[in-house]
Amino acid sequence: MKRSASHALPVFLSLAGFLLGACAGLQRSVPVNDTGKADSREVTCQYPHDPSNLLALLFSYKKEMHYITHAEETCRHAFANELRAVVRSSFLIPKGCVQVTLKDIDDALYHPEELRKRLNY
């Protein structure tokens, strides 16, 4: 049985929508830890994408590392922590890639010049 090209269009559009949605920014409220203060406040962070989306990690790796390096302190640490947890828990990422990605996240936070040279951004 032959399928016409018209059947492929909805599948293509769905896949394209998923990929574009995967790379879209995500707004998230992050609590600020002010030690010694009774009242807590939150900062709204504009993440480059949802940290749990491995597909977006693959397609926007440099963008994520740039965000971790340059975003507001609370936001960059919160995003890095979420990204670390996802990378560590993923069974889809090979162990060597997990180690390299975790090192890149740490370098983005604490040694941005080293990461910038390595990723050339």
- Number of domains the chain is built from: 1
Residue 11 lies in a domain: no
| Residue pointed to by tokens 């993440």 | 47
In this prediction, residue 8 carries a pLDDT of 62
In this prediction, residue 11 carries a pLDDT of 54
Residue 21 lies in a domain: no
31-69 as b/e: b if 16+ CB within 10 A: eeeeeeeeeeeeeebebbbbbebeebbeebeeebbbbbb
pTM metric for this prediction? 0.71
In this prediction, residue 42 carries a pLDDT of 87
* Element housing 31 (H / E): strand 26-32
Residue 10 lies in a domain: no
- pLDDT tens per residue across all 121 residues of the chain: 555 555 665 555 455 555 445 444 567 667 666 555 555 688 899 999 999 999 999 999 999 999 999 999 999 999 999 999 999 999 999 999 999 999 999 999 999 999 999 998 7
In this prediction, residue 22 carries a pLDDT of 46
Residue ranges making up the domain that contains 95: 26-119
CB-based contact 43:72 (threshold 8 Å):
yes
